[in-house]
Amino acid sequence: MMLDISSIPIINYHKVMPTFDIGITTRHPDQFYLDLQIIKEFNYQPVTFKDIFTAPKLPPNPIIITFDDGYEVLLEYAIPTMLEFGFRGIIYIPTDFIGQYNNWDVQWGRYRFKHLNRKQLCELQRSGFEIGSHGISHRPITALSAEGFHREIAESKIILQELLQETIYSLSYPFGKFTWQTMKETREAGYCCGLASIYYRKVDPLDEPYALKRFNIYRFDHSGHFKRKIGLLSNTFIKARDWLIQRGGTATTVLQTFKSDQHRHHDRKMVND
Summarize pLDDT for 57-111 with one digit per residue, the tens.
999 999 999 999 999 999 999 999 999 999 999 999 999 999 999 988 876 556 7
Average pLDDT over the chain, rounded to an integer:
90
In sequence order, the 6+-apart residues with CB closer than 8 A to the CB of 213 are: 6, 10, 196, 197, 198, 199
Identify how many contiguous H helices and E strands the chain contains and give both numbers. Answer: 10, 8
- What CATH number matches the domain at 5-272, 3.40.50.300, 3.20.20.370, 3.40.50.2000, 3.30.1280.10? 3.20.20.370
Summarize pLDDT for 189-231 with one digit per residue, the tens.
999 999 999 999 999 998 999 999 999 999 999 999 999 999 9
| pLDDT bucket at 23, cuts 50 / 70 / 90 | confident
Higher pLDDT, 1 or 233: 233
Distances in Å between the Cα of 67 and the Cα atoms of 15, 134, 144, 173 are 8, 10, 24, 12
Mean pLDDT of 37-62: 96
CB 168 within 8 Å of CB 131: yes
| pLDDT bucket at 271, cuts 50 / 70 / 90 | very low
* pTM attached to this predicted model: 0.91
Give residue 248's pLDDT: 72
The alpha carbon of residue 38 and the mean position of all alpha carbons in its chain are separated, in whole angstroms, by 21
CB 233 within 8 Å of CB 227: yes
* Domain locations in the chain as residue ranges: 5-272
